[in-house]
Amino acid sequence: MGARIIGSGSFLPEKCVTNSDLEQIVNTSDEWIVRRTGIRTRHLLEDGQDPAVMGTAAAKQACEDARISAESIGLFIVATNFPDMICPGSSPFIASELGLDQTPFFDLKAGCSGFVYGMAVADGLIRAGLYQRILLVGSEALSRVTDWSDRKTCVLFGDGAGAVVLETGRTDEGVLGSAIFGDNDKALLLHMPAGGTRTPADDATLQQGGHFLKMEGAGVYRSAVPMMERATREALAAASLGLDDVDWLIPHQANIRIIDSLAVRLKVSKDKIITNLDRVANTSTASIPIAFDEARRDGRIKNGDVIVMTAFGAGVTYGAVVVRI
Ligand code: UT7
């Protein structure tokens, strides 16, 4: 008995920043950003706004959608890379807002693949019979770790959260197969140098901007397409399905050129691919659950559809999960 999705939710902060707004703060152009990434706008937290509002809102919406009370959740997982606090993370703060008084919780850190990893972990725990109902949130406040003077990264990211409620289901629905991978040789392609235990924050790290996200964009780009292709094929094999069986592909929303190349390699037509990065940019662990929730709510995703969610990210991690809705 695998895990089926019984509800979903998502949240984007109100503040919407356009490419033209970014032209005012770094040497960039709307034309460059659209041509190289496909991104037009992103939603960002206001200064001082509590990041937990995002995961809380998405989780509440998912529970309402599933018509369940939050107290019925057996386990709560938050996939995030930049938690509210390095210790104790994000999950306890969101759990408190949700009134999950006795529910166990933990943060899951697996780069932008965190939501896909979380789906695989939740499915495993449900299959093992350890939990009947799990709430999985992907939430990311990337604006808080972005160097707003670095044009190579600041145009790429957005804030947001998405959530799903997973419950024990029949074998022919829910998670049908998954495949997760890691490539630790590439750990520094995307990283935050300071603020961890290797290089604790001090005046010097602050001066050097060690508390900001650093990325070797071209290196990440080169790895992303073959990694998501491999993960998609292996997750489908685990589900005993082929690409012809797939109704929707939801790739991590990092760059439209990466998504287009993936479509070509998999020979999946573009009208089967769900994208929203033009509006929301790269929201890391939140990107897949936000895109999934939007497409469910607007009626594109229907009951019975087979969906592949695939991602890659810092670590480097990558993976895919095949789900029948
Ligand atoms: O969630 C996973 C995390 N990240 C990603 O998935 C990102 C993956 N990588 C990418 O999406 C792309 O590599 C980028 C969008 C980050 C960059 O695109 P690119 O086509 O690989 O450009 P590039 O880094 O090779 O830079 C090309 C030029 C450079 O100028 P020179 O050296 O050729 O004169 C950059 O300085 O574009 C310049 N550039 C910009 N110009 C205007 C870089 N960023 C900007 C910018 N505006 N924002």
Known active-site residue 252:
yes
Let me know the angle formed at the C-alpha of 322 by 318 and 325, rounded to the nearest 5 degrees: 140
Ligand 1: distance of its center to the CA of 153 in Å? 8
Atom 42 of ligand 1, nearest CA residue: 28
pLDDT of residue 171: 81
Q: Catalytic: which of 63, 112, 255, 276?
A: 112
Q: Are 282 and 115 in contact (CB under 8 A)?
A: no
Report the pLDDT value the prediction gives residue 172, as an integer from 0 to 100. Answer: 85
Give the Cβ contact number of residue 12 at 10 Å. 24
Instruction: Split the chain (325 residues) into runs of 10 and give each run's mean pLDDT.
Output: 94 98 98 98 97 98 96 96 97 97 96 98 96 98 97 97 95 94 94 96 96 94 95 98 98 98 97 98 98 98 97 97 97
CA dihedral sign of residues 141, 144, 145, 149? positive
Q: CATH 3.40.47.10 occupies which residues in the chain?
A: 3-172, 175-324
Whole-number pLDDT of residue 2: 83
Which atom number of ligand 1 is nearest to the Cα of residue 154? 48
| Closest protein CA for atom 48 of ligand 1 | 151
Q: Which residues contact 48 (CB under 8 A, 6 or more apart)?
A: none
The whole-number pLDDT of residue 1 equals: 77
Query: Which amino acid is residue 33, in one-letter code?
Result: I
26 alpha carbon – ligand 1 mean position (Å): 14
Which residues are paired to 75 by β-bridges?
134
Residues with CB under 6 A from ligand 1: 28, 32-33, 36-37, 112, 151-152, 155, 190, 215, 217-218, 220-221, 224, 254-255, 282, 284, 313
- Domain 175-324 sits in CATH at 3.40.47.10
Place of tokens 């939007």: 294
Q: Which CATH class is domain 3-172?
A: alpha beta
CA-closest residue to ligand 1 atom 22: 218
Q: What is the DSSP string of 246-280?
A: -SEEEE--S-HHHHHHHHHHHT--GGGB---HHHH
Which residue's CA is minimally distant from atom 43 of ligand 1?
152
* pLDDT (0 to 100) of residue 132: 96
Catalytic residue list contains 191: no
CA of 275 to the centre of ligand 1 (A): 20
Structural tokens at position 247: 């109704």
Can you count the helices (H) and strands (E) in the chain?
11, 13
